[in-house]
Amino acid sequence: MKKMAIAAAFVALFTANAQADTVGLYLGGQVWQSETIGVLGEKNALIDFNLKKERQVNYFIAIKHPFPLLPNVRIARTALDTTGSITLKQAFNFGGKTFAVGDTVNTRVNVSYIDYTLYYQLFDNDLFSFDLGLTARDFNGDVTVAGPTIPVDSCIKVQPNLCVSTDGSNLFTPTGKIKTDEIVPMLYAATNINLPVKGLGVFAKGGFLSIGNHSLYDYQVGISYNLAYISKLDFELNLGYRAVKMEFEDLNNLYTNLEFKGAFVGVIAHF
C-alpha cells in the first residue's frame, strides 16, 4: 500500500484525459535472453567480472479505462540475475570484505524491480497510440562477491578483513554483499503503430532517469501480431529487443555501470 501511495502521488502532474473506450485488463510476460556488459564495485574500484548471458523472465499487469483525469495503471516486474568470475589483478574491497591480488572471485548480480506506473494515453486511434506517465521503480535484491574458500582453523589475520590460510579442516568463503533496495522515479513513454497488414504493428516503450547519483534507462522495441484477427482469442505475440542500463553511484556504497541487452519473445492477453 505504501508503494502504491508513492505512485499515486504522480497523478497531480498530469492534466490529459484517458482515451480508452472501455475498461480493459492486460496480462503479459516475456522471456528475455540478456547479455550483460559493464563494471561494478565500490568507489574507485570498478571491475569487469565477465558477467554471463542469462535467460530472464518478466511479466506485467495493466488496467486501461475511459474515465477522464484518472490515470491508467501498469505494474511490471523485471528480474536481472547473472553471475561472473575473474582473477584479481589488484586488491578489491566489497561489502566489508577485502580480496587479495591473485584471488579468483565470483560475483552474482541478483537484482529485481517492480515498476508502479501511472500513465495517460494521449493519442489513441486505429493507426497510432502514445502513452506518457511516471513510474516508481522499486529495486530489490543484492550484489555479492565471494572469494576463494579457505580453512577457517588456519586463517591467519593479516588485516581487518584479509586472512592468509594454511592447512586446516573447516572451510570458510569470505563474501561481501550490498543490497540494492531503493525506490526511484522514472519517466515512462510508450507508442504503438499499426501497419497495413491486419494485426501487425510495431511498438516502443521505455523508462528513463538521469538525476542525482543515478542514470537509468529501460527500453524495448519490436513487432507485434494480434491473434484476434485470426481467432476468437485476444492474444498478442511480441518479438523485440530490450536494453536496461543501471548506472548507480553510491547506492549503499554500490557503484555500477551495467547494461543488460538482448532479444525477447512475449505474449499479452487482453480481457
Question: 115 vs 21, which has greater pLDDT?
Answer: 115
What does the alpha-carbon distance between residue 62 and residue 153 come to, in Å, rounded to a whole number? 55
Average pLDDT over residues 20-36: 89
Distance (Å, whole) CA 237 – CA 270: 12
How, if at all, do strands 155-159 and 162-165 pair? antiparallel
Q: Is residue 63 over pLDDT 90?
A: yes
Distance from C-alpha of 177 to C-alpha of 263, rounded to nearest angstrom: 30
pTM of the model: 0.83
Query: Which three three-digit cell numbers place residue 254?
Result: 554500490
For residues 199-227, average pLDDT:
92
Q: How confident is the model at residue 88 (pLDDT cuts 50, 70, 90)?
A: very high
Q: Which has the minimum average pLDDT: 10-19, 56-65, 221-230, 253-262?
A: 10-19
Are 26 and 270 contacting, i.e. CB atoms less than 8 angstroms apart? yes
CA-to-CA distance for 127 and 159, rounded, in angstroms? 66
CATH node for 2-270: 2.40.128
SS3 track for the chain: CHHHHHHHHHHHHCCCCCCCCCCEEEEEEEEEEEEEEEEEEECCEEECCCCCCEEEEEEEEEEECCCCCCCEEEEEEEEEEEEEEEECCCCEEECCEEECCCCEEEEEEEEEEEEEEEEEEEEECCCEEEEEEEEEEEEEEEEEEECCCEEHHHEEEEECCEEEECCCCCEECCEEEEECCEEEEEEEEEEEEECCCCCEEEEEEEEEEEECCEEEEEEEEEEEEEHHHCCCCCEEEEEEEEEEEEEEEEECCEEEEEEEEEEEEEEEEEC
Contact status, residue 180 vs residue 254, Cβ threshold 8 Å: yes
CA gap 254, 83 in Å, rounded: 17
> Between 43 and 154, whose confidence is greater?
43
pLDDT at res. 126:
84
Task: Parse the chain into domains and list their residue ranges.
Answer: 2-270
